[in-house]
Amino acid sequence: MNVMTKTETAGARQVVAAPSVGHNLLAKPALMSVEDAKAMDVARMTDLFKNHVNPGQLHFMKLLGFNKVKVERAEGMHYIDQNGRRILDFFGGFGSLALGHNHPRILDVRQRFQEEKRHEIAIAFMSQYASALSYNLAQIAPGELDMVFLGSSGSEAMEAAVKVAERAAGPKRPKVVYAENSFHGKTKGVLAITDGQLYRADFKVADNTVKVPFGDIDAIERAFVADPEIGVIVLETVQGGGGIIQAPEEFWQKLRALCDRHGVIWVADEVQCGVGRTGRFFAFEHYGVVPDVTALAKSLGGGKTAMAAMIARRDVYMKAYGTPKTAMIHAQATFGGIGEACATAIETLNVLYDEALIDNSAAIGDYLLERLRAVQAKHPKIVKDVRGKGLMLGIEFHDFSQTLPMVLRPIVSVLDDKLKGSLSGFVGALLLRDYGVLVAFTEYNRNVIRLEPPLICGREHVDQFIEALDGLLSRGIVAIVKDFVKSQMK
Ligand SMILES: Cc1ncc(COP(=O)(O)O)c(C=O)c1O
């Protein structure tokens, strides 16, 4: 018997005949094995990415030179590529790598879990792992943040957060306040409170929302007073996608008081800034306040798995789902609280405290910020601002589209739209190519580079990063632009 399999040649789907195998009625399609995947070279990877993953995204990877890297291994602060080059990771998966890559205790706990043949999926039963993780999170979370919903992504945790808050606020107060330049995920529900036209595109999103400027307490008060239907406010404690933006120091205490006065439920999105990233477990702890609901993801998975959590005040949770009749309205999804992911997250939380990584985040973050300030002082025409808390820092470059020497303007004008006027793409590309350092970009503000290295980061890594950045900026804008343009010709 012959069966049909697909091959992918230049995007076209060719159907070819393949011989049948063994006694199976359905012969196995031409599948790759894990070993095939590991052995794949960059050319083949590019082909498959283009044909089956995201051809448009490949365009940006090419601009930055990221398409030339095949990561073979990752360890601690580094990726190791196909040529054995060690790439210093100051990107940190947008804050997903608090423990660094492949932390030995995380590998160990996962290996033991497998060797003991522990279960993963047990929706019918209570899970000891989900229970222990939820207990740990309630131990860490201040105040009455005691009730935990486990999921797999930040978007899922934020969906859960908005839903629990909306139900607790009740049908007479259905409106949700969110901030300019917010990012809360790309799933359909939270897209309504994610302020990015790029992501919103033309999707029809819920219209029970009110937008306010981030960190503007007077604007929020005006909104609350003007519209008594407002029942919920959702804010990132530090805006990540917006370009590492912090609210004024006194904002959070005032927000807490305002929410109490108006009976509005405050949801703090800590998906990126939580799990120790800013030098406290939750970023809101810097301000001595406690929200009604919060959400975590990213680093909660120990850099090894997908894990997310929504944590609500007990009374908020009980109001929303506290009876047998309402309990299943937003109960766990199929993979919510899955075994090994919970075990990994339990170990992650223990490692964070055992190795004093939150303290390290605060101390090394201060050191990095101080050294960044020195770089800014040395290159004031290039660096406009450096900011952030702990190991969630941003470098903002001046928009150089107007200051670039006339001779270079025609060259830059033919570059991709995303790069015009923005030095961050040029700097990021050259940091990787010439110094083996990886940094992250910011969709809403193209002039900002985000630094979110693992919390295991040491002074020596900061020194290496600063040396690279200073070395690159010392070339001057003209040379940086020329070097970048030359890199595009190859
Ligand atoms: C603040 C914030 N909220 C929510 C999300 C969505 O998380 P995920 O990409 O895991 O769905 C992100 C992701 O970057 C984020 O930074």
Given a cut of 60, whether residue 8 has pLDDT beyond it is: no
pLDDT mean over 103-110:
98
pLDDT of residue 21: 55
Which atom number of ligand 1 is nearest to the Cα of residue 156? 11
Contact in structure between 250 and 297 (CB atoms under 8 Å): no
- Check residue 291 and report its DSSP letter: -
For residue range 225-265, list pLDDT tens digits in order.
999 999 999 999 999 999 999 999 999 999 999 999 999 99
Three-point CA angle 232, 146, 95, nearest 5°? 75
- From ligand 1's centre to the CA of 155, what distance in Å? 6
Pocket of ligand 1, candidates 178, 298, 307, 310: which has the most ligand atoms within 8 Å of its Cβ, to mutate? Answer: 298
Residue 57 domain-assigned (yes or no): no
Residues 370 and 279 in one domain: no
Given a cut of 50, whether residue 396 has pLDDT beyond it is: yes
Given a cut of 70, whether residue 274 has pLDDT beyond it is: yes
Contact in structure between 137 and 149 (CB atoms under 8 Å): no
Describe the chain by its helix, strand, coil percentages, rounded to 5. 45, 20, 35
Residue 19 domain-assigned (yes or no): yes
Q: How far is CA 295 from each of CA 207, 268, 292, 313, 460, rounded to the nearest angstrom?
A: 22, 7, 11, 12, 32
Residues 410 and 448 in one domain: yes
Phi and psi torsions of 32, nearest 5°: -85, 150
Q: Which two tokens stand for residue 224?
A: 């609350």
- From ligand 1's centre to the CA of 263, what distance in Å? 27
- From ligand 1's centre to the CA of 366, what distance in Å? 25
Q: List all residues whose CB is within 6 A of at least one atom of ligand 1.
A: 94, 153-155, 158, 183-185, 236, 240-241, 269, 271-272, 297
Residues 256 and 294 in one domain: yes
- 401 band by pLDDT with thresholds 50, 70 and 90: confident
pLDDT of residue 9: 46
Residues 291 and 389 in one domain: no
Given a cut of 90, whether residue 363 has pLDDT beyond it is: yes
Pocket of ligand 1, candidates 162, 184, 277: which has the most ligand atoms within 8 Å of its Cβ, to mutate? Answer: 184
- From ligand 1's centre to the CA of 477, what distance in Å? 33
Residues 332 and 407 in one domain: no
Residue 363 domain-assigned (yes or no): yes
Residue 311 domain-assigned (yes or no): yes
Given a cut of 90, whether residue 16 has pLDDT beyond it is: no
Structural domain boundaries, residue 9:
1-31
pLDDT of residue 4: 43
Nearest C-alpha neighbor of 55 from the set 11, 97, 14, 4: 11
Average model confidence (pLDDT) across the chain: 93
For residue range 422-468, list pLDDT tens digits in order.
789 999 999 999 999 999 998 888 899 999 999 999 999 999 999 99
Residues 342 and 393 in one domain: no
When divided into structural domains, the chain yields a total of 3
Q: Which two tokens stand for residue 197?
A: 């036209």
Q: Which residues contact 32 (CB under 8 A, 6 or more apart)?
A: 40
pLDDT of residue 456: 98
pLDDT mean over 277-294:
98
Given a cut of 50, whether residue 3 has pLDDT beyond it is: no
The alpha carbons of the chain give a radius of gyration, in whole angstroms, of 24
Residues 331 and 468 in one domain: no
Q: Which two tokens stand for residue 315?
A: 């009374």
Lowest average pLDDT, out of 84-88, 412-416, 469-473, goes to 412-416
Residues 316 and 443 in one domain: no
pLDDT of residue 406: 76
Question: Which residue has better confidence, 201 or 17?
Answer: 201
Given 289, 320, 354, the domain boundary residue is 354
Residues 402 and 344 in one domain: no
For residue range 33-53, list pLDDT tens digits in order.
999 999 999 999 999 999 999
Provide the 10 A C-beta neighbour count for residue 358: 21
What's the whole-model pTM score?
0.94
Residues 154 and 273 in one domain: yes
CATH number for the domain that contains residue 244: 3.40.640.10
Q: Which two tokens stand for residue 15?
A: 């159907």
Given a cut of 90, whether residue 351 has pLDDT beyond it is: yes
For ligand 1, atom 7, name the residue with the nearest CA.
Answer: 154
Cα dihedral 449→453→458→460 (10° resolution): -40
Which atom number of ligand 1 is nearest to the Cα of residue 298? 10
Provide the 10 A C-beta neighbour count for residue 468: 20
Q: Which two tokens stand for residue 165?
A: 């808050």
pLDDT of residue 1: 38
- From ligand 1's centre to the CA of 244, what distance in Å? 14
Q: Which two tokens stand for residue 109?
A: 């706990």
For residue range 165-216, list pLDDT tens digits in order.
999 999 999 999 999 999 999 999 999 999 989 999 999 999 999 999 999 9
Pocket of ligand 1, candidates 96, 152, 158: which has the most ligand atoms within 8 Å of its Cβ, to mutate? Answer: 158
